[in-house]
């Protein structure tokens, strides 16, 4: 009986060691083997490294929270066939089991006027070293933009008038030189001060815009390159109710289009 007394605790200890921690807790991979998992920070997980996901395919990898993940088929994702890619094809080097999802690998794979950049077809730039911009424009990030330098100045008018003032002729002459330099279309916006009805000011603003257009046309600028619009009193540059503000709102603005 004394022998049995000492054997009982030993049997219990051996049984506890054999069982190990209760799933999903673990101390080593052996405790997770029955579930086909691996011990990660004392918890059984689907994977600890990419090789543990090989049974789910050559592109599967060990992702967030130690779970096996398959690529979604976006450009640049690993693939085995075209069916793995949402758009485009699975481009593989000769002899390789896997490749990368991409719309293209060269410009020839893209539609006309498109180019291949990092596996995607994107529009070709308007300009580059081989395709310069028209005169008066510069190439910025593949797009032709007007050269910086000259600016268009507003033209001011007397109260209830749309005739070009003598002191504004020099302003319009400078504007004309700027227009010739940049060779770009413009819109001429007629504006008024707050006095007068909305209908009256819209009509007056239009006459002011038309007067500026006519002056520039007479200087030689293309009528087709100019359009006009009236905003009446809706776009003031100041809102004080005095002449010092009103004269600044009686104007025509020239804007690049």
pLDDT tens-digit series, residues 143-186: 888 777 788 999 999 999 999 999 999 999 999 999 998 888 99
* Domain architecture of the chain: domains with CATH: 22-70 (no CATH), 78-123 (no CATH), 155-256 (3.30.1330.60)
pTM of the predicted model over 0.85: no
Q: What is the share, in percent, of the chain residues with pLDDT greater than 90?
A: 66
What length does the chain have? 257
Peptide bond into 72 cis (omega under 30): no
The pLDDT mean for the chain works out to: 89
Q: Give the neighbor-by-neighbor strand order of the sheet with 186-191.
A: 155-156, 251-256, 186-191, 226-232
- Of residues 124 and 196, the one with the higher pLDDT is 196
pLDDT of residue 196: 93
Residues 6+ apart with CB under 8 A from 234: none
Question: pLDDT digit string (tens) for 37-57?
Answer: 999 999 999 999 999 999 999
Cα 205 → chain centroid: 37
What per-residue confidence (pLDDT) applies to 133? 87
- Mean pLDDT across 215-241: 96
């Amino acid at each position: 009986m004394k022998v049995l007394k000492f054997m009982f605790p030993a049997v219990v200890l051996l049984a506890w060691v054999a069982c190990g921690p209760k799933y999903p807790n673990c101390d080593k991979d052996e405790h997770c083997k029955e579930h086909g998992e691996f011990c990660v920070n004392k918890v059984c997980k689907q994977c600890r490294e990419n090789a543990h996901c090989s049974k789910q395919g050559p592109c599967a990898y060990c992702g967030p929270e130690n779970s096996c993940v398959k690529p979604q088929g976006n450009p640049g994702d690993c693939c085995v066939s075209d069916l793995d890619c949402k758009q485009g094809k699975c481009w593989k080097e000769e002899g390789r089991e896997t490749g990368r999802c991409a719309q293209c690998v060269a410009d020839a794979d893209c539609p006309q006027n498109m180019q291949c950049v990092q596996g995607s077809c994107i529009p070709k730039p308007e300009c580059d070293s081989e395709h310069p911009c028209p005169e008066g424009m510069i190439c910025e990030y593949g797009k032709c933009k007007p050269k910086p330098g000259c600016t268009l100045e507003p033209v001011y008018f007397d109260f209830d008038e749309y005739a070009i003032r003598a002191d504004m002729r020099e302003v319009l002459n400078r504007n004309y030189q700027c227009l010739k330099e940049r060779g770009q279309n413009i819109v001429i916006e007629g504006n008024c001060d707050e006095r007068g009805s909305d209908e009256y000011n819209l009509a007056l603003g239009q006459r002011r815009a038309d007067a500026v257009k006519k002056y520039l046309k007479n200087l030689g600028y293309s009528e087709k390159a100019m359009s006009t619009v009236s905003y009446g009193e809706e776009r003031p540059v100041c809102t004080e109710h005095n002449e010092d503000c009103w004269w600044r709102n009686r104007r025509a603005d020239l804007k690049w289009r």
